[in-house]
Amino acid sequence: MPDVRSSITDAVHFYGSSTPRELVREYGSPLYVYNETILRTRCRELLGLSSHPGFRVNYSAKANTNPALLRIIREEGCVADAMSPGELYLNKMAGFTPDELLYVCNNVPAEELAAAVDAGLIVSVDSLAQLDLLGRTRPGCRAMVRLNPGIGAGHHQKVITAGKKTKFGISPASLPEVFDIVNAHKMRLSGLNQHIGSLFMEPEGYLNAMDVLLGIASRLRSEGRLNDLEILDFGGGFGIPYHKYENQPRLDLAALGQGIHQRISEWSAQNNYKGRFYVEPGRYISAECCVLLGTVTATKSNAETAYAGSDLGFNVLMRPVLYDAFHDIEIYRGTAPESETVAQTIVGNICESGDILAHNRELPRLKENDILGVLDAGAYGYVMASTYNSRPRPAEVLITKNGTPKLIRRRETLEDLAALFTD
Ligand code: LLP
């Protein structure tokens, strides 16, 4: 049944056989709710970008590491990256084998590099110093280097990861030193990767950056310096439309796929290459299959501003506070849709005035006990949640293919909060 504001989730039967209120009653509020069918659809869309035999979708697990979701992503045929011992552990727990995993790290200690190599992974490093440390730690190992193609993209300065203003990547001008280090430690240069940034909505920048990496790889190959190549990884950043109620267009996957497929097919033929090509999306796969549910606990006005207070503080979802990120919001009250709106600022229950989920949003007037649904919360949502103000983190529930809910992470308890203290 349509609710006060629910057309986006209604259109995809997001909650299956439950209502949001029933889910909150059963599992508590706030609550991360995932939909299996949407997760599988997103994986399939990306796997369909190219039919080239070496093409892989390397899910960037930093977006969401719940093993129940990782298992589905693996079942669909994706491989995965890890950037920490924790991600490696959870990826393995979900069934990914070493040849299905890539370690793409940044500023890590020798023990971490050693552990990834010993687990059978290729490690991508992103500075000459880390390449040298990898070589000293595990001489003779396979190595991959992350290049900075000079083109950056992203929804916020904090997530643009190439170009001049970023800590990431090795400049192509330093490639002679890369080979000196590789040779000194008898390593094999098995891959090149890059990641220009997070959330692009037009294919062009990504395809241009691909051309840069492919151009470098062609040159090295023609000089006979890239004979051990196994993987060329173009990175992630595939955007999703967060402004769903304004009909924001989706990323044109047909155009992107055509550009990717053509480039890798031609490059393989020209360079007599039988290895793999990776794209490395996180957000595109896991964002849209999730709605974060919360509850309106109090409403009030202060001067000109109408506030709706809720249990959705930045301890639960950090993106709005950290990046001024926009998430559409639905309202479930069990009554019919309402078209009359009023500007409201939705805030959480954290002791900071910056704890704002949505600024001055034109929405039907919120009331105490309304259930809120924050759309597109599955990427960089739970993984960035904290226990700030000593609030336990929420549960996660999966609406399975047949529409029934399944708990995939229990709510933290007060005992969990206390579990690590030693005195
Ligand atoms: N590969 C590398 C090396 C990355 O650093 C990242 C993301 C990805 C792939 C996946 O990017 P995606 O396809 O998800 O855009 N917390 C921020 C996003 C940070 C992205 C960090 N790196 C947010 O909530 O927007």
pLDDT digits (tens, 9 = 90+) for 193-223: 999 999 999 999 999 999 999 999 999 999 9
pLDDT category of residue 8 using cuts at 50, 70 and 90:
very high
Pairwise CA distance, residues 205 & 155, whole Å: 13
pLDDT category of residue 4 using cuts at 50, 70 and 90:
very high
Pairwise CA distance, residues 294 & 296, whole Å: 7
Phi, psi (deg, nearest 5) at residue 201: -110, -5
Give pTM, 2 decimals. 0.98
Mean pLDDT to the nearest integer, 264-278: 98
pLDDT in tens, 118-140: 999 999 999 999 999 999 999 99
Can you give the pLDDT at residue 349?
Answer: 98
pLDDT category of residue 235 using cuts at 50, 70 and 90:
very high
- Distance, CA of 19 to chain centre: 27
pLDDT category of residue 166 using cuts at 50, 70 and 90:
confident
Mutate to test the pocket of ligand 1, among 283, 284, 319 (most ligand atoms within 8 A of CB): 283
Can you give the pLDDT at residue 262?
Answer: 98
Q: At 313, list the tokens.
A: 């503080």
Query: Which of 103, 52, 98, 58 lies closest to 76 in space, CA to CA?
Result: 58
Question: Locate tokens 């509020």: which residue?
Answer: 29
Task: Compute, in angstroms, the gap from residue 235 CA to the centroid of ligand 1.
Answer: 9
Are 178 and 145 within 8 A, CB to CB? yes
Mean pLDDT to the nearest integer, 340-358: 97
Ligand 1: which atom is nearest the Cα of residue 124? 3
* pLDDT of 163 above 90: no
Q: At 96, list the tokens.
A: 């990914």
Task: Specify the residue with its C-alpha closest to ligand 1, atom 16.
Answer: 380
| Range 103-141 burial, b when 16+ CB lie within 10 A, else e | bbbbebeeebbbbbbebebbbbbbbbebbbbbbebbeeb
Pairwise CA distance, residues 403 & 226, whole Å: 49
Percent of the chain at pLDDT > 90 equals: 94
Q: Return the active site residues.
A: 351
Task: Compute, in angstroms, the gap from residue 154 CA to the centroid of ligand 1.
Answer: 9
Mutate to test the pocket of ligand 1, among 198, 234, 284 (most ligand atoms within 8 A of CB): 198
Pairwise CA distance, residues 72 & 35, whole Å: 11
Q: Which residues line ligand 1 (CB under 6 A)?
A: 60, 62-63, 104, 159, 161, 195, 198-199, 235-238, 280-284, 319, 323, 379-380
Mean pLDDT to the nearest integer, 152-170: 84
Question: Locate tokens 């240069």: which residue?
Answer: 189
Question: Locate tokens 């040159």: which residue?
Answer: 219
* pLDDT of 20 above 90: yes
Ligand 1: which atom is nearest the Cα of residue 284? 13
Q: At 202, list the tokens.
A: 């037009």
pLDDT in tens, 46-101: 999 999 999 999 999 999 999 999 999 999 999 999 999 999 999 999 999 999 99
Pairwise CA distance, residues 163 & 151, whole Å: 5
pLDDT category of residue 151 using cuts at 50, 70 and 90:
confident
* pLDDT of 160 above 90: no
Task: Compute, in angstroms, the gap from residue 379 CA to the centroid of ligand 1.
Answer: 9
Can you give the pLDDT at residue 162?
Answer: 81
Q: At 149, list the tokens.
A: 């193609």
Mean pLDDT to the nearest integer, 134-160: 91
| 232 three-state secondary structure | strand
Pairwise CA distance, residues 123 & 101, whole Å: 10
Mutate to test the pocket of ligand 1, among 62, 105, 317, 324 (most ligand atoms within 8 A of CB): 62
Task: Compute, in angstroms, the gap from residue 197 CA to the centroid of ligand 1.
Answer: 7
pLDDT category of residue 168 using cuts at 50, 70 and 90:
confident
Q: At 241, list the tokens.
A: 């439309």
Distances in Å between the Cα of 81 and the Cα atoms of 99, 103, 235, 260, 409 are 11, 6, 11, 20, 22
394 versus 163: the higher-pLDDT residue is: 394
Report, in this order, helix, strand and coil percent for the chain, each rounded to 5: 35, 25, 40
Task: Compute, in angstroms, the gap from residue 186 CA to the centroid of ligand 1.
Answer: 32
Mean pLDDT to the nearest integer, 316-330: 98
* pLDDT of 109 above 90: yes
Task: Compute, in angstroms, the gap from residue 163 CA to the centroid of ligand 1.
Answer: 16
Q: What is the mean pLDDT of the chain?
A: 97
Residue-by-residue DSSP string for 355-408:
-EEEEEEEESPP-TTPEEEESS-SSSSGGG---GGGPPPPEEEEE-TTS-EEEE
